[in-house]
C-alpha cells in the first residue's frame, strides 16, 4: 500500500475505486486501435491524517504531459475567465508593468497574453508539454518547456523572482506536491503573491463529480489539506474565492509567511468552516462517497439501455478527460455512443482511450441528426447548448450525466 504524498501516512481508506482505466488524455490514432493499450488502477484514497485525497502514481508526469492534447484557448468561457482574472489582479494589487508575472502550466499562453497585451514585458510561462509550449512561443509568450519544482526554481531565481505567481489547475497534477510548493516558495519575490485555482473537493463530493478523477489528477484538494501543505513550506494563504469553474473551484491567494503587508481575509475561515460542516476532517465522509458512485453508474446505464432499446441515436459532445473516466467506468463504448465531437482540431480524427469511440468535428451532428447529445464536459454546459441549439430543429435533446442523468 502506498503512502500519502504529503505527510507519509499509510493510505488505507478508499474514496473512490473506479476499476481499471487508461490515461484519460491518451487519445488513439486509427492505426493504434488494434494494439495493446495500457490500463491502470483508478483507485483514490483519503489520508486519515491530512485528508488529502489522492491516486497512486502509476505513470510519470513526463509520459502524461510531455505531448498533451488539451489546449485552453478552445473554450470561450475559460478565455473570458482568464481575462477577468487579469483585470481584477491588476486593479486589486496595483500590479504595474514592471512586475514579473510567471505562470506555471501556462498551456498555450491563453492567460499571459492578457498581460502582454497590456505591455507587461516581464512575462514567463512554464509549460511541460513541448507541443503546447511551442504554440505559446509562436504567439510571443516566452515559455519554457520544463516541469516545475525546486530544481527549476533554483535555476530561475537569480533572474526571475515572481511578483505574481499563477497556477491554474496544476496543483492537482503534480505527484511530488511538497517539491512543487517548495519551488513556489523559492521563486516568489519577498512581497510576491501566489494565486492557484483547483477543483474543490467539497464540490466534487456534493455534486457527485466522480468523473473528474483520472490519472492526470494525482490529488483532489480541499482548503483543509492545501492549507496544511502551504504552511509546511512557510507560505500563508491570506484569501480564498469560491469559483464556478470546473464544477466548483477554489482560488487561493498566498504569500510568504514573513510578509506582514497582506492581512488574512475572513473568507479563509468561512471556507474552512464550510468544509468542517461537511465533515471533510472525518475520514468516514470520504468512505461514504463510493456507494454514491455505484448508484450513479447503474442509473447512467439504465438510461443508455432504455434509449438504445427504443432505437435512439446517441452521440457525445466533447472529448474531455472526465468523459473518458465516466465512459470507461460505466463500460460505455460505441455500442451505446455512436461517436463524439470536439471543437479542438487536435482531437478530431482520433479515438477515445479505452472505449475507442471516434471523435469528429461538431459538423457531424448536423449531418446525422441524433436523438440525444450527451454533454461530456458538463462544466461547459451553457456554452455548448448555446453553440449546438440547432438540434432542436429535429427534436434532439441534450443530456448530462453528472451529478445525475438529466434530459433537456
Residue 71: its pLDDT value, please?
64
Domain spans of the chain? Answer: 65-286, 310-407
Cβ(16)–Cβ(290) below 8 Å:
yes
Q: Which grid coordinates belong to 282? A: 472525518
Span 141-158, mean pLDDT? 96
The per-residue pLDDT for range 91-113, each reduced to its tens digit, is 999 999 999 999 999 999 999 99
CATH class name, domain 310-407: alpha beta
The residues, ordered by sequence, that sit 6+ positions from 32 with a Cβ below 8 Å of its Cβ are 351
> For residue 45, which of 6, 74, 92 has the smallest C-alpha distance?
6
d(CA 102, CA 303): 46
Residue 72: its pLDDT value, please?
64
d(CA 392, CA 403): 24
pTM equals 0.90
d(CA 344, CA 107): 14
What are the φ and ψ backbone dihedral angles of 31, each rounded to 5 degrees? -75, 0
User: 403: cis peptide before it, omega within 30°?
Assistant: yes
The per-residue pLDDT for range 351-394, each reduced to its tens digit, is 999 999 999 999 999 999 999 999 999 999 999 999 999 999 99
Residue 153: its pLDDT value, please?
98
The per-residue pLDDT for range 376-385, each reduced to its tens digit, is 999 999 999 9
Cβ(316)–Cβ(351) below 8 Å:
no
User: CATH topology of 65-286 equal to that of 310-407?
Assistant: yes
The residues, ordered by sequence, that sit 6+ positions from 124 with a Cβ below 8 Å of its Cβ are 100, 101, 102, 103, 142, 143, 144, 160
d(CA 276, CA 172): 21
The per-residue pLDDT for range 273-314, each reduced to its tens digit, is 999 999 999 999 998 899 899 999 999 999 999 999 999 999
Q: Which grid coordinates belong to 264? A: 488574512
Cβ(111)–Cβ(86) below 8 Å:
yes
| Overall residue count recorded for the chain in this entry | 408
d(CA 357, CA 28): 10
CATH architecture of the domain with residue range 65-286: 3-Layer(aba) Sandwich (3.40)
Residue 70: its pLDDT value, please?
61
Amino acid at each position: 500500500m502506498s503512502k500519502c504524498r504529503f505527510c507519509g501516512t499509510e493510505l488505507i481508506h478508499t474514496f473512490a475505486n473506479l476499476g481499471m482505466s487508461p490515461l484519460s488524455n491518451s487519445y488513439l490514432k486509427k492505426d493504434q486501435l488494434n494494439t495493446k493499450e495500457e490500463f491502470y488502477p483508478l483507485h483514490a484514497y483519503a489520508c486519515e491524517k491530512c485528508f488529502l485525497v489522492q491516486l497512486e502514481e502509476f505513470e510519470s508526469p513526463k509520459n502524461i504531459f510531455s505531448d498533451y492534447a488539451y489546449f485552453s484557448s478552445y473554450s470561450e468561457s475559460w478565455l473570458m475567465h482568464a481575462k477577468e482574472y487579469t483585470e481584477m489582479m491588476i486593479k486589486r494589487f496595483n500590479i504595474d508593468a514592471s512586475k514579473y508575472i510567471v505562470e506555471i502550466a501556462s498551456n498555450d499562453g491563453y492567460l499571459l497574453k492578457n498581460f502582454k497585451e497590456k505591455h507587461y514585458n516581464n512575462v514567463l510561462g512554464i509549460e511541460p508539454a513541448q507541443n503546447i509550449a511551442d504554440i505559446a512561443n509562436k504567439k510571443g509568450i516566452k515559455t519554457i518547456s520544463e516541469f516545475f519544482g525546486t530544481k527549476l526554481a533554483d535555476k530561475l531565481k537569480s533572474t526571475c523572482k515572481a511578483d505574481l505567481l499563477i497556477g491554474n489547475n496544476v496543483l492537482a497534477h503534480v505527484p511530488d506536491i511538497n517539491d512543487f510548493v517548495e519551488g513556489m516558495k523559492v521563486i516568489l519575490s519577498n512581497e510576491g503573491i501566489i494565486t492557484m485555482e483547483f477543483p474543490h473537493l467539497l464540490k466534487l463530493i456534493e455534486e457527485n463529480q466522480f468523473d473528474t478523477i483520472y490519472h492526470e489528477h494525482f490529488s483532489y484538494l480541499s482548503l483543509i489539506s492545501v492549507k496544511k501543505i502551504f504552511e509546511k513550506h512557510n507560505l500563508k494563504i491570506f484569501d480564498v474565492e469560491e469559483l464556478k469553474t470546473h464544477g466548483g473551484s477554489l482560488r487561493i491567494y498566498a504569500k510568504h509567511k514573513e510578509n506582514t503587508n497582506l492581512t488574512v481575509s475572513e473568507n479563509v475561515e468561512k471556507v474552512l468552516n464550510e468544509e468542517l460542516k461537511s465533515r471533510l476532517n472525518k475520514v468516514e465522509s470520504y468512505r461514504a462517497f463510493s456507494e454514491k458512485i455505484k448508484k450513479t453508474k447503474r442509473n447512467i446505464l439504465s438510461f443508455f439501455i432504455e434509449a438504445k432499446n427504443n432505437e435512439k441515436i446517441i452521440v457525445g459532445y466533447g472529448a474531455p478527460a472526465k468523459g473518458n473516466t465516466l465512459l470507461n467506468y460505466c463500460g460505455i463504448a460505441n455500442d451505446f455512443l455512436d461517436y463524439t465531437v470536439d471543437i479542438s482540431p487536435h482531437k478530431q480524427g482520433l479515438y477515445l482511450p479505452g472505449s475507442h469511440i471516434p471523435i469528429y468535428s461538431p459538423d457531424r451532428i448536423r449531418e446525422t441528426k441524433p436523438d440525444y447529445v450527451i454533454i461530456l464536459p458538463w462544466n461547459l454546459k451553457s456554452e455548448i447548448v448555446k453553440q449546438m441549439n440547432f438540434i432542436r430543429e429535429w427534436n434532439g435533446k441534450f443530456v448530462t450525466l453528472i451529478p445525475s442523468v438529466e434530459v433537456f
